[in-house]
Amino acid sequence: MSFLPAPLEPVRPALLTRLSPTTRLVVGTAWLAVAVIAAGPRVSFALSLVAVVLLVIASGLPLERVPTRLAPLWLAALGLGLLTVLVNPSNGDPTVVALVRAGPLRVTGPALEAGIAIALRLVVIALVSLLVFATSDPTRLADALVQQWRVPYRFAYGTLAALRIVPLLAADWAAITAVHRLRGLQRRSPWGRAAEIGGSLLVLLVSAIRRAERMALAMDARGFDTGRPRGVYRPVALRALDAAALVVGLAIAVAALVLAAI
Amino acid sequence: MSAGTPSGSGISPDPEPVGAGTGRRAAPEIVAEGFGWTYRGRPRPSLAGCTFRVPPGRVLLVMGPSGSGKSTLARALTGLVPHELPGTWTGTLRVGELDVASTPAQVVSGEAGIVFQEPESQLVMPRVEDEVAFGLENRGWDRAAMQRRVPEALEAVGLAGFERRSTAGLSGGEQQRLAIADVLAPMPGLLVLDEPTANLDPPGMERVFERLAALAAARERTMVIVEHRLDAALPLADLVLVLDATGRQLAFGAPDEVAGRHVAALERMGSWIPRAWHGRSASEDAVPGGEPAAAAPATGGSASVVGARPVPASTSDARRASDGRPADPVLVIEGATLRYPESTGGASRPALLDVRVELRAGERVALVGPNGSGKSTLLFAAAGLRRLEAGRVRVGDGTRPPDADPARLPARRLARSLGLVFQNPELGFVGRTCAAEVAASLVALGSLPDPADPRVRAALEAFGLELLADEDPFRISEGEQRRLGIVAVSIARPPVLLLDEPTFALDRRGAGAVVALLDGLRGEGQAQLMATHDPRLVPACDRVVALDAGRVVFDGPPQVFLADPPYRPAAPWRDTGTPAAPRTDRASRAAPAGVPA
């Protein structure tokens, strides 16, 4: 049993979970590109509004857990936004009207707008990534990439196998730090601490390589990557629904660009 | 699930071949003639001079001490040696019509499937049905055939209905049965199992052996089983191959013949011996070297341990100081409670629930329980590494009653209060030599970590590790690593030592050496709390604390625990061997015709 929090995954069937992962990947990438290209908070605000609506009605994700699981991102958005407001050069420009004035602090309209834009951009990135990646498991994404985009299966399923090793390495790391603490080996000086962490990483690397070797041997024994044509157990179809989602999704991206231009 | 499943055995009859190249393979004969293998970069062969013949459909049990090349043979039978691992091949090895050395790996692996020791290192896919289908996809099965075959393979290992479950959420025993389903799915003629139950708790092990017994009884495939858990494995074996510590073939034949001639040699080599061969009872057949608790001297090198008759375990009465009073407590855990985090769609369940454990000076306590019962969590909590929701942990430093919270102790005082050794001691190693490894712990005593410190040599000598002083800790054997890990933390003289599976995967000699080392430390007053799945270790302890779903369900003497384990079913915890599936043809199988003795 693990003390790691459970991953965020759909708890009921929903519109987005029925789409092919590649469809979501295309639309999501387009939206992120628009959010990054388009300056100003309006586009980011519009896209996050759309993303929130999709999250609520079409993602199947357990909504009550989303705010807490993304807490670090909310904090990052808030912090980055504030920082952008404070360091904006227009604050020092006397020709621009100040909205806030407190002692040496002076905040102008353009500075506030830039801060909100940055914060909202991060929110869009977080929400869209959630909608693209959390609405189906990694297996289905790998299946879709192999079947629809001809990504080499060696790479796609090799990555899936590697993902299984990650929690084991987390447990190894916990064991390493535990033993160091109990043996009184933890050092206090920054230099000593760096050396200690370096040594631990080396031990972790040895463990990771051994685990990867064993996994590779087990996969070889089961006939992985012998050059034969591979069977398909989980076909991922592109359906009319995907075509519709592509059209609507890309239309929203274009509309957002237009919104940025006017 | 397929219709017509015979009741009792739980094995579905495998269907007729489905699709081109995807049918059942006939059970092959295995023939080895002077077969040997040397891994590249190793000075001596891992396996040499193996000559044996296993008729189609028979079960071969491979036994021998650590380092005898058992796993190498398993890898060769599936073509991983020589095709995936570099080295030098000698002699011949044939699986059916295939000469392994000259046949491409993918052809050999199509005939033979292999199950490895660690479940977590051989499962690839996140979901159960995808995991079983993985090997079929690799072999190019068509989808309809896979959809028929996946549930059949799961049913054959007792995992029917598990299709949509997450592989990471299964218990160790379930994961290992899934690994067996994976290799059964493509219907190979040869099934090779390389210590399939080493990582499992007793019920998980029993379930696996039940399934293996049923598969063996079906006689549809040749099977080769490499195992340390011989009492469970021997009833399945038609033939036994014994390897010695240098990888040479010591004996081959029907179990009864080998038992008659070679028990003494096996015992000398340090191999585990099936109980049926030496006629000892369960409580006698403990890890050798488990001395009674009353002040055992520091018995060092393995020579004093090998072949020693295990001494019946002490009663808790022996755990008293010389003046008749119970020894002082050195570790007190009270009301420890902790919950796992909530998972999607499930309530959080307790990892520990109001656990109370007290450890007295000079006492060895076995911490037992199924996977997930809270053993590791309790060890972490005892070391102050996991914050409790309720309850408290108190340790002393040998001079005062336990009054300190380990989570709040400064580093050096903590090291003088508690030691912790994991199943994989490598994870804690920091030294370039074994001497440096032990010396690193001297900082806890306020000394410089000098490998030339006389205390380092004294400790290595006292515990029979002096010859390894200049060796790289990463290059010594697993048993030596485990002993080095114990010596390294014990040089700081902690009154409490916490151990996770100290005898895991060790042969009789290796396990005996670890227990002898622990006897010496206990004789000096060290208290030891060891989480273990190995019932053979239980008689070497003074007390047993049994956990189930986070609660203490038993706390008492080992004899009482072994006589009536607080688990249902209780049999696996006694290590009485596993009841095999009904075998009607046992008599006719005892001596297969044409087997070279």
Q: What is the CATH number of the domain that holds B332?
A: 3.40.50.300
DSSP E strand stretches across B8-58 = 30-39, 47-54
Distance, CA of A262 to CA of B84 (rounded, Å): 63
pLDDT at B298 (0 to 100): 37
* Nearest residue of A to residue B418, measured between CA atoms: A182
How far is the alpha carbon of B29 from chain A, nearest alpha carbon, in Å?
20
Report if residue A191 sits inside a domain.
Answer: yes
pLDDT at res. A104: 79
| Inter-chain touch A4–B488, beta carbons under 8 Å | no
> Does residue B579 carry a pLDDT above 70?
no
- pTM to 2 decimals? 0.81
Closest in B122, B340, B441 to A183, CB measured: B441
* Local confidence band at B382 (pLDDT 50, 70, 90 cut-offs): very high
Please tell me which residue of chain A has the smallest CA distance to B370: A1
Question: Do residues A20 and A78 share a domain?
Answer: yes
CB–CB of B84/B165 below 8 Å?
no
Residues 478-537 on B with a CB inside 8 Å of A are 488-489, 492
Who among B146, B383, B385 is closest to A233 (CB)?
B146
Q: Is the peptide bond before B82 cis (omega within 30 degrees of 0)?
A: yes
Residues B242 and B339 placed together within one structural domain of the fold: no
A247 and A130, same structural domain?
Answer: yes
Task: Give A53→chain B minimum CA distance, Å.
Answer: 22
For position A2, what pLDDT does the model report? Answer: 58
The pLDDT of residue A21 is above 90: yes
- Quick one: B261 and B338 in the same domain? no
Is A208 in the same domain as A248?
no
Kindly report the nearest CA distance between residue A123 and chain B, in angstroms.
24
- How close A93 comes to chain B (CA, Å)? 52
Residues of chain B with C-beta less than 8 angstroms from the C-beta of A224: 134, 138
Q: What is the residue range of B482's domain? A: 326-559
| Mean pLDDT of all residues in B64-92 | 91
Check if the beta carbon of residue B36 is closer than 8 Å to that of residue B578.
Answer: no
How far apart CA B250 and CA B252 sit, in angstroms, is: 7
Say whether B428 and A183 touch across the interface (CB within 8 A): yes
Q: Which range, A32-41, A187-196, B175-184, has the best average confidence (pLDDT)?
A: B175-184
Residues B452-493: tens digit of each pLDDT: 999 999 999 888 888 889 989 988 888 889 999 999 999 988
- Taking residue B448's Cβ as centre, other Cβ atoms within 10 Å add up to 8
- Shared domain for A97 and A211, answered yes or no, is no
Question: Quick one: closest CA in A to B180, which residue?
Answer: A222
Chain B from 137 to 156: CB within 8 A of any A CB: 137-143, 146-147, 150
Dihedral (Cα; B182, B183, B187, B189), 10-degree rounding: -170
388-417 in chain B: CB under 8 A from chain A = 411-412, 414-416
How many angstroms separate the CA atoms of A91 and A89, rounded?
A: 5
Distance from CA of B559 to the nearest CA of A (A): 30
- A200 lies in a domain? yes
pLDDT band at B119 (very low <50, low <70, confident <90, very high): confident
| Parent domain of A109 | 15-136+238-261
Residue A259: C-alpha distances to residues A27, A125, B252 (Å): 18, 19, 82
> Which helix (H) or strand (E) element contains residue B143?
helix B143-156
Which pLDDT score is estimated for B395? 92
Percent of chain B with pLDDT over 70: 83
Is the pLDDT confidence value at B398 over 90? no
Q: Which of B207, B149, B218, B209 is nearest to B183 (CA)?
A: B149
Query: Taking CB atoms and an 8 Å limit, are A139 and B415 in contact across chains?
Result: no
- DSSP state letter for B45: -
Q: Does residue B348 share a domain with residue B272?
A: no
Whether residue A130 is found in the same domain as residue A246: yes
Are A132 and A155 contained in the same domain? no
Band the pLDDT of B591: cuts 50, 70, 90: very low
- Do B533 and B584 sit in the same domain of this protein? no
pLDDT, one tens digit per residue, over B50-73 is 999 999 999 999 998 888 899 999
Contacts of A215 in chain B (CB under 8 A): 121-122, 124
Q: What confidence score (pLDDT) does residue A229 get?
A: 87
Which residues on chain A are in Cβ contact (under 8 Å) with B127?
Answer: 137, 139
Scanning B291-330 for CB atoms below 8 A from A yields none
What does the pLDDT read at residue B373?
86
Q: Is residue A227 part of a domain?
A: no
Residues A21 and A123 occupy one common structural domain: yes
Please state whether beta strands B551-556 and B543-548 pair in parallel, antiparallel, or not at all (unpaired). Answer: antiparallel
Q: Are B116 and B122 in contact (CB under 8 A)?
A: yes
Average pLDDT over residues A27-44: 88
Number of domains in chain A: 2
Q: Is residue B262 in some structural domain?
A: yes
Query: How many degrees, rounded to 5, is the angle at CA B291 between CA B289 and CA B294?
Result: 160
In a shared domain, residues A120 and A68: yes
What per-residue confidence (pLDDT) applies to B296? 36
**pLDDT band of B287, cuts 50, 70, 90:** low
- Same domain for B217 and B330, yes or no, is no
> pLDDT band for position B342 (50/70/90)?
low
More confident residue, B590 or A7: A7
C-beta atoms of B121 and A214 within 8 A: yes
Is residue B93 helix, strand or coil?
A: strand
- Give the pair of three-digit tokens for residue B208: 């696996």
Is there a domain that residue A7 lies in? Answer: no
The whole-angstrom separation of Cα A185 and Cα A179 is: 8
Answer for the pair B168, A167: CB distance below 8 angstroms, yes or no. Answer: yes
- The dihedral built from the CA positions of residue B285, B288, B289 and B290, taken in this order, carries a sign that is negative
Of all residues in chain A, the one with the smallest CA distance to B410 is: A184
Q: Which of B218, B242, B271 is nearest to B60 (CA)?
A: B242
B288 φ, ψ to 5°? -65, 150
Close Cβ partners of B367 (under 8 Å, ≥ 6 residues apart)? B375, B378, B379, B529, B530, B531, B532, B545, B547
Give the Cβ contact number of residue A187 at 10 Å: 16
pLDDT over 90 (residue B379): yes
Which of 184-243 (B) contact A at CB < 8 A? Answer: 186
Among B273, B258, B277, B274, smallest CA distance to B590 is for B258
Contact B330, B397 (CB under 8 A): no
Is B566 part of any domain?
no
ipTM for the predicted complex? 0.84
B416 contacts in chain A (CB < 8 Å): 184
Supply the pLDDT for residue A27.
96
Whole-number Cα distances in Å, A117 to A88, A92, A110, A252, B24: 13, 20, 10, 19, 63
Q: Do A179 and B428 touch (CB under 8 A)?
A: yes
Helix, strand or coil for residue A41? helix
**A6 belongs to a structural domain:** no
Give the model's confidence band at A4: pLDDT under 50 very low, under 70 low, under 90 confident, else very high: low
Contact call for B443 and A168, based on CB within 8 A: no
Residues A80 and A107 in one domain: yes
Q: Are B286 and B310 in contact (CB under 8 A)?
A: yes
Based on the fold, state whether residues A40 and A96 are members of the same structural domain. Answer: yes
Residue B190 in tokens: 């040869």
The span from the CA of B94 to the CA of B101, in Å, is 8
Could you tell me what percent of chain B has a pLDDT over 90? 46
Nearest by CB to residue B124, choosing from A157, A175, A232, is: A157
Residue A226 lies in a domain: no
How many helices and strands, by DSSP H and E, does chain B display?
A: 19, 19
Tell me: do B361 and B469 sit in the same domain.
yes
B461 in A contact zone (CB under 8 Å): no
Q: Which of B533, B553, B558 is nearest to B543 (CA)?
A: B558
Q: What is the DSSP letter of B121?
A: G
Residue of B nearest to A188 (CA): B411
Identify whether B465 is part of a domain: yes
| CA-based nearest residue to B185, from B237, B226, B126, B128 | B128
Instruction: Judge whether A77 lies within some domain.
Output: yes
B273 and B358 in a single domain? The answer is: no
For chain B, the 3-state helix, strand and coil shares in percent, each to the nearest 5, are 35, 20, 45
Residue B415 to residue A218, Cβ atoms within 8 A: no
CB contact under 8 A, A222 and B141: no
Tell me how far apart the alpha carbons of residues B313 and A171 are, in angstroms, rounded to a whole number: 34
Same domain, B543 and B583: no
Residues B276 and B331 in one domain: no
Is position A173 within any domain? Answer: yes
Lowest mean pLDDT among A85-89, B85-89, B271-275, B342-346: B342-346
**Number of domains forming the structure of chain B:** 2
Q: Give the C-alpha distances (Å, rounded to integers) separating B142 from A29, B20, B22.
A: 34, 9, 9
How many helices (H) and strands (E) chain A has is answered by 10, 2
Q: Out of B124, B474, B489, name the one closest to residue A219 (CB).
A: B124
Q: Which member of B105, B342, B345 has the closest CB to residue A11? A: B345
Residues composing chain B: 597
Q: Are residues B340 and B277 in the same domain?
A: no
Asked if B343's CB is within 8 angstroms of A228's CB, the reply is no
Is pLDDT above 80 for B450?
Answer: yes
Task: Kindly state whether residues B271 and B405 are assigned to the same domain.
Answer: no
A168 and A63 in one domain? no
Contact A137 B126 (CB under 8 A): yes
User: To probe the interface with A, which of B427, B472, B484, B499 has the most A CB atoms within 10 Å?
Assistant: B427
Segment holding B531, helix H or strand E = strand B527-531
Q: What share of chain A is helix, strand, coil (3-state, %, to 5)?
A: 70, 5, 25
Whether A130 and A59 share a structural domain: yes
- Across the interface, do A228 and B427 touch by the CB < 8 Å criterion? no
